[in-house]
Amino acid sequence: MKDFLIEIFAWWRGNTWGTRLWTALNGVFVGTDEFGNRYYRSRKIGANGRERRMVIYAGGLAEASTIPAGWHGWMHYRTDVPPTEEGYVPRSWEKPHRPNLTGTAAAYRPRGSLLAEGERPRVTGDYDAWSPE
Q: Which domain holds residue 59?
A: 2-86
Residue 104: CB atoms within 10 A of its CB come to 8
Within-domain flag for 68 = yes
Within-domain flag for 131 = no
Residue 76 CA to its chain's centroid (Å): 11
Within-domain flag for 125 = no
Within-domain flag for 54 = yes
pLDDT digits (tens, 9 = 90+) for 47-63: 788 889 988 888 767 77
Residues in the chain: 133
CB 7 within 8 Å of CB 17: yes
pLDDT digits (tens, 9 = 90+) for 94-129: 777 777 888 888 888 887 787 777 777 776 777 777
From residue 33, alpha-carbon distances to 40, 57, 58, 68, 119 in Å are 12, 10, 10, 8, 42
Total structural domains within the chain: 1
